[in-house]
Each structure stands twice: as structure tokens, then as C-alpha cells.
Amino acid sequence: MDEKIHTVTITIYDRNAAYQQVSELLHQFADHILLRVGYPFSEKNVAIIFIILRLDLAALGALTGKLGQITSVKVKATTLKV
């Protein structure tokens, strides 16, 4: 499959429970990440991570599927049409 550019927004509703798992999973896809921006809301125990990736749709599905299985994590992905 062709590699495409994707944006993924990851919302972590319980940083204490999920942040380490999310970080480890993103580390596995580090070679595909073009940009990673995170913003922690420490006082609310929430974090938002925005990433831009270059990979094929199968790999994107694998990543977002694994992220979505982590408790207190929500994921939204968009493929750029360029």
C-alpha cells in the first residue's frame, strides 16, 4: 500500500493510568512520526497528543486500534488528501 500523511489526535482522560502505555506504543511507531505535540492538563489529569504520521492505512489502523483499546484513551484519525 502507498504511504500517506495522517493526523491523529489522542485524548487521554486519565494520565496516571494510560500515559505510559500510550508513550510506549508511539515509540514503536517513532520512525513514522513527523510531528508530535503534547499538552498535559495536570490539574485535570488529562493530556492531548497530536501527531502527524507518514504510513500506510493498514499500519494506521494497527496504531489507532491499539490506542483505542487502552482504557481512558480516545483516538481520532484523519487522512490528508494530498
pTM of the predicted structure, to 2 decimals = 0.92
pLDDT at residue 39 is higher than 80: yes
Separation of alpha carbons 28 and 71, rounded Å: 19
Task: Output the DSSP codes for the chain.
Answer: ---EEEEEEEEES-HHHHHHHHHHHHHHTGGGEEEEEEEEEGGGTEEEEEEEEEE-HHHHHHHHHHHHTSTTEEEEEEE---
Which tens digit of pLDDT belongs to each residue from 59-78? 999 999 999 999 999 999 99
pLDDT at residue 1 is higher than 80: no
More confident residue, 82 or 44: 44
Domain boundaries, the chain: 4-79
Confidence label for 18 from pLDDT (cuts 50, 70 and 90): very high
Q: What is the dotted CATH code of the domain comprising 4-79? A: 3.30.70.1150
Task: Label residues 4-25 b or e (16+ Cβ within 10 Å = b).
Answer: eebebebebeebeebbebbeeb
Confidence label for 56 from pLDDT (cuts 50, 70 and 90): very high
pLDDT at 82: 79
